[in-house]
Chains A and B, each alone.
Chain A
Amino acid sequence: MKPNVILLTVDSLRGDHLGFMGYRKDITPNMDKLARDSSIFRQAFSTGPVTPHSFPSILTSTYPFDYQGVGGIERPRVLISEVFKKHGFITAAFHSNPYLSAYFGYNKGWDYFEDITPPFDIPEGKIENKRFSLVIKNFLEDLLKRIAFNTFPELYFKTRYFNYRRKGPTGEFKVKANYVNQIVKDFISFAKQEGKPFFVWVHYMDLHIPYISVDKYLQNGNLSYPEMVCSFYCSASLPHYFEKKALIEFGKKYVRDAIQLYDGLVMYVDQQIGDLMEFLQKGNLYDTSLLCLTADHGDEFFEHNGLSHTSKLYNELLHVPLVIKFPKSKIKKVLDQKISLISLAPTICDIVEIPKASFKGNNLFEDGDAPIFHQTASGIRATNLLVQDLGQCKIACQHGKWKYIIDYGIQREELYNLDGDLKEQYDLSRFEKETIYQMRKIVQEFLKQNSPFSLLKK
């Protein structure tokens, strides 16, 4: 019988905040243990810095802007679940990210597809008036931000915090990992009895902003002021990145708090992954299953003037962990070549020895030092999912020591030498004309092979 496959993805998990990736704090003992039993890719990168620009590659091995973008996962994209189901696996997905919902087409090929949402998140009766109220609310919020937020960010957050203390929380944001785990354990217990191998994908949302636990936010109501700033800075400041120095300076004051909160959540997710590993061990499934752990993207802590993740193509947002534990095997490799998550799905298929469908990626263990590519929307907003013209795109390429970024919307190029400038702080595009020329050619060739407009009728 084929081995079971367990794909664990953690939303917003940076590649460098894990012990086995060299993080100075010991906050991930369970993931470190998994890494010791596995092959590790120390230079794994997502195809995009936000969920809708990353998951198409993880689950369909295509680039996000193929076929005019990811308004919805549809043909010719094939989900890995469809491949596994076709080959006799019981397939199940458990997540709570709205970008991965049936609305965006991620529900194909799963015997069990659960977009876990707390009940009744939109109270009865509100829906009919929602369109109108949303328009008004958005307008007023935008007005408030434009006038007050840029000039007096401190005042804005103090007011927001005052309202929170006065009125209490306004919603429930995230489904906790222990809740997800309970469903996964129930599913695995069920699947074991069916006598068929299973493929289960589990996505944890705990690290996503806001950087606070649901318990603390909803039940205790004692969110501190820095926690409020760290959790809501990104959404509040989204339309104003790069515009106002005062706003950036204000945000930077809270970067330590943000990292502390984030690390606390990493520890929590690590505990939960440990709990799942223990469950697998008790059920004699740990050694015999293929386990993969990765993330859809990272998060930034003001490396490039922002908190959380938006449409930027710097490595704090693209560098992710990738751990692959082989079934019934002691294969443990530590690989340092740069690889893209577009090759994860075909690698999983190869290990389990089933055909790879029309996946674009290759086997990660056979990949050489080929260039890797990243895509996202031009500007900083993540919501641009459909591509009508190249002006809506931003593309990056990493090849050897060079990192090249081109924003077709504003016609801006950046070039970084990652050997000496790992944090991408010194743009060399004005000085390295020959390299820029070479990298531009590589991207143009990539666009020929992976045109967003390949399905358009000429």
Chain B
Amino acid sequence: MNFQLKRLEKGSIYVFREVRMKFRNMAILWLPGKNSTMCLYLCRKAFFGKIPFPAIYIGKGFEFQETYEFRCRLAQEWKIDFSIFPAQSNNEKFSRILGGIEERYGVDALIIAMKRDESLKWFEKDFSGGSDYILKSGDIFCVFPLVFWTEIDIWQYIEEENIPVNPLYFTKDGKRYRDIGYPDLPVQIRSNAKTISEIIEELKIRHDVNEIDRARDEEKDIIFQRLRDLGYL
């Protein structure tokens, strides 16, 4: 695993543990997309194979057969007992859903697998205060362990760690889904990607960015910066 991914993984795991110390009643939100699945995976890693709080799935009334089967597979393989929270409609405002979850489960913090760009896109107006990865919406704190990950980071990590993903991400008749999680409606794009490697290659071409190269020389710099902070060097 390259250093950039290791650093991101460590950061996310730190967030999981930190919020567990800070909040009494918390839950993790699972949506059928790759971000949420990776978030569950990291959560299990942080707590040595367990998820020490409820995992909540937002039921939208309709779901793809692939998604249903994928959720059953995760529940079985990772021993997760999903609690299903019924959403009123596909367009229901997320802050209302948060309020509903708070009321129903009595949680004061909810872990949500969103990247920084997504959280700003969907919830900017609803949030007040907080830190880089903990924001308050109404009476509930939202925690974003993946806030510093990019889409390519996430796919690379999933490939590296062999994390299962929803089969809707892979091509069928020249098209595949790119975003599967709520609140976005699933978005289809033209693609021939049959594997995660091919998805990563597509993303690299699209963004013209090589995320692996960016991280190559960072490890030494960061270690030495930490030593400086401790008074060495």
Contacts and interface: CB of A to CB of B under 8 A. Distances in A.
B10 A117 contact: yes
Interface string B9-21: 0111111011011
A210 B15 CA distance: 24
Given A103-B219, A131-B221, A190-B49, A119 B14 contact: yes
Contacts of A114: 10, 13
A238 B13 CA distance: 35
B50 A190 contact: yes
Nearest to A190: B48
A389 B191 CA distance: 60
A370 interface: no
Nearest to B21: A182
A226 B125 CA distance: 43
A98 B223 contact: yes
Interface in B174-233: 218-227, 229-233
Counting chain A CB atoms within 10 Å of each CB, the highest count among B10, B15, B133 belongs to B10
A191 B50 CA distance: 12
A234 B49 contact: no
B6 to A, nearest CB: 8
Interface residues of B, number: 33
Contact of B226 (A98, A131, A178): A98
A129 to B, nearest CB: 11
Interface stretch (A120-128, A257-265, A430-438, A450-458): A120-128
Contacts of A99: 227, 232
Given A117-B10, A179-B17, A186-B48, A122 B222 contact: yes
Interface in A234-282: 234-235, 238
B227 A98 contact: yes
A173 B21 CA distance: 19
Nearest to A189: B48
Interface residues of A, number: 42
B11 to A, nearest CB: 3
Contact of A183 (B15, B17, B50): B17
Contacts of A101: 223
A117 B226 CA distance: 9
A121 B230 contact: no
A112 B13 CA distance: 13
Contact of A187 (B7, B21, B48, B230): B48
A171 interface: yes
Nearest to B150: A124
A119 B21 CA distance: 16
A388 interface: no
Contacts of A189: 48
Nearest to A96: B226
Nearest to B222: A122
Contacts of A112: 48
B126 interface: no
Interface in A170-195: 171, 173-174, 178-179, 182-183, 186-187, 189-191
B117 interface: no
A391 B10 CA distance: 39
The 3 closest A-B pairs by CB, nearest first: A119-B11, A235-B231, A190-B48
13 contacts: A97-B230, A98-B227, A114-B10, A117-B10, A119-B12, A122-B225, A124-B148, A130-B221, A179-B17, A186-B50, A190-B48, A208-B230, A235-B231
Given A98-B223, A119-B148, A120-B11, 5 more contacts: A99-B232, A103-B219, A115-B10, A179-B17, A186-B50
